[in-house]
Amino acid sequence: MTLAFAYVRASTKEEVRQSSNERQKDVIIQYAKSKGYELEFFEDRAKSGKNTQRPDFERMLKSLDAKPKVVIVAKIDRFARSLSDLLKTLEYLDQNSVGFVSVNDSGIDTTTPNGRLLLQILGAFAEFERNMINSRTKAGREQALNKGIKFGRPALKTRNGSFIDKRKVLELKEKGLSARAIAKMLECSTTPILKILRENR
């Protein structure tokens, strides 16, 4: 039989209690039987899709030397955190000659010409979205600069909201005062004083 990897994931403990992974497995097993695949399961429990630390997901990607024909999931949101994340992972699978199928997402099957075409379309949309975001960010920054808005780290302030005079801090330090003494004199915490002193060593 042809080897296929199957990945299932429950995001929360509640999903685990509701047998989310078992339902995903049933869907995948039914599909695999129709294709004659021998399944090896990888399972993460109570792991959010936004969490990069998904042990079995990582183990699956490191196990591609076993030469599975395809990675199968019940739904695509069990597999990837975002479109860009999906495309990067599918590119990695493709580099290892491994296909990808999402059983409950019509058309997501990179073992077919239509599935590969859909993937290319998704990739084009993702690139378009990145370019639009970059353009908006650049335009917003330029508009802000034209209005006199300054970028960079915020100025350090005292407890009453006034700005800390860095030259005053350095002068007091030259007179032998400790960071704590300077902070007390300027009515602020020691953290910004230490920061100023570190930057002006």
**Could you read off the pLDDT of 141-188 as tens digits, one per residue?**
777 777 766 555 445 656 666 778 888 888 888 888 888 888 888 888
Half-sphere exposure of 79 (CA within 13 A, CB side): 28
The CATH label, of 3.40.50.1390, 3.40.50.150, 3.40.1350.10, 3.40.50.300, for the domain at 2-113 is 3.40.50.1390
pLDDT reported for residue 186? 83
19 included as an active-site residue:
yes
Q: How far apart are CA 192 and CA 200, in angstroms?
A: 12
Give the phi and the psi of residue 106 in degrees, each rounded to 5: -55, 130
Say what the pTM is: 0.60
Q: 11, 19, 84, 106: which one is catalytic?
A: 19
The domain ranges of the chain are: 2-113, 153-201
CA dist 36 and 72 (Å) reads 13
Q: How far apart are CA 100 and CA 122, in angstroms?
A: 14
| Assigned CATH class of 153-201 | mainly alpha
Element holding 126 (H helix, E strand): helix 113-146
Distances (CA, A) of 133 to 85, 110, 136: 17, 28, 5
Question: Are 2-113 and 153-201 equal in CATH topology?
Answer: no
| pLDDT for 62 | 94
